[in-house]
Amino acid sequence: MKYNIKQFTIKTLCLLVLFVLVFFVNIAVQEDSATLPLYQMPDKEAVLTPKELFLETWNLVKKNYWDNELNEQNWSHWKKRYLSKIKTEEDAYVAINSMLASLNDPYSKFLSSDEFREQNNSIDSKIYGIGINIASVSGKIYVVNVIKGAPADLGGVKPGDMILKINGNDVKGDNIFQTASYIKGNLNSFVDLEILRENKRISKKIKRAEIKIKTVESEIMDKEIGYIRIVSFISSEGPVEFIDAMNKVKDTNALILDLRGNTGGLFQNAVFVANMFLDEGKIVKVIGRGGHNSSYTAEEKEYTYDKPLIVLVDGESASASEIVSAALKDNGRAMIVGTKTFGKGVVQKVYDMPNNMGMNLTIARYLTPNGNDINKKGIEPNYFVEITKDDFEKNNDSQLNFAKNMLRNEIERSKIAAKER
């Protein structure tokens, strides 16, 4: 079926924006307004003193954090402990970070102006770095992909290289999130890499640059199998890129959706992608502050890809990736291949804060269509397939090959059945 990409995208995105607005309004009004006035968002253009900045943050968390018991603590404790002691901006940072740490929630973070700008750049698909994708295998960090034309590519970094050190930091045993934090940095600054290739240690000095990439990649394999890889759900352009990718593979007999290494992004992008493969059924259930919940279900649309589908995942597939994977698995729409996912079942909202700062705050948690809470648990694949160290060194994608073989068999069975009819 041929469909108008622009018309479909605008129509579907409008529906999703409406869903998100309804959800956030419901969370805001669920409190008893007679005893607890709604929190008024701070003016992001304002310039506050360190003490005022702390108070704004304290209030925002108290009124909007998903757990209204705030990890079973008296939130007033933090105001009594720090307010009279805050003199400088550094004092405010210490107080705010200590307060947020008490929530035992690694996803609720206060962002400095530089960190907030970097995050917004990611949403606008402006990524600063060296242009590599990495994975952790048995506690070792490997380069799995190098973006063509990016600084790492021009500097001679290759897929299969094992990263030993970054700027002198030994990364053995680190996860990819920790490793990525070493690679990130200011535009035009340098990253010193020590890599292992064919038992030889090699040093590389790579200059960070703006990486112009699309977050969705696609191709056709073996003439009959479509392949779409979503690098990240963070980009506001993601839905448009995904529709473009679907147009390129919609006439194939089967599809592989690759979410490996995709650590998440925008909630609405995940709902958008899952909706493309479902005629009906729940996509995700979101539970906000005080237990209020909203369910997102598949919506009527002009096109649904209804052919055999396999989703590839790994231990770095998180958040939005898990929303898509769980929706397709629980609805029996796709087989999940790979290793258990990361296990991030909570939703954050990005708040513009005064002084050009920001905060990511957990405002809800979500359940899969079958009612499963995957936070800190992950999603088990239908078929467990692990990429070994030997696979990396031989540049052998055993998970992708497994998926292709499954789909080839499925296509062949369909052809035989068609002949017998």
Q: For 279, which DSSP code?
A: S
- Beta strands 282-288 and 357-367 are antiparallel
SS3 71: coil
Q: Which of 352, 333, 335 is nearest to 57 (CA)?
A: 352
153 catalytic per annotation: no
Q: Which of 235, 319, 321, 325 is catalytic?
A: 319
The Cα 208–Cα 151 span in angstroms is 7
Q: For 232, which DSSP code?
A: -
The Cα 365–Cα 373 span in angstroms is 8
Give the torsion sign (CA, 358, 364, 365, 366).
negative
330 catalytic per annotation: yes
On whether the CB atoms of residues 326 and 380 are closer than 8 A, the answer is no
SS3 405: helix
390 catalytic per annotation: no
The Cα 129–Cα 39 span in angstroms is 37
The single-letter code of the amino acid at 46 is A
Question: To 10 degrees, what angle do helices 50-64 and 89-101 make?
Answer: 20
Catalytic residue IDs? 319, 330, 344
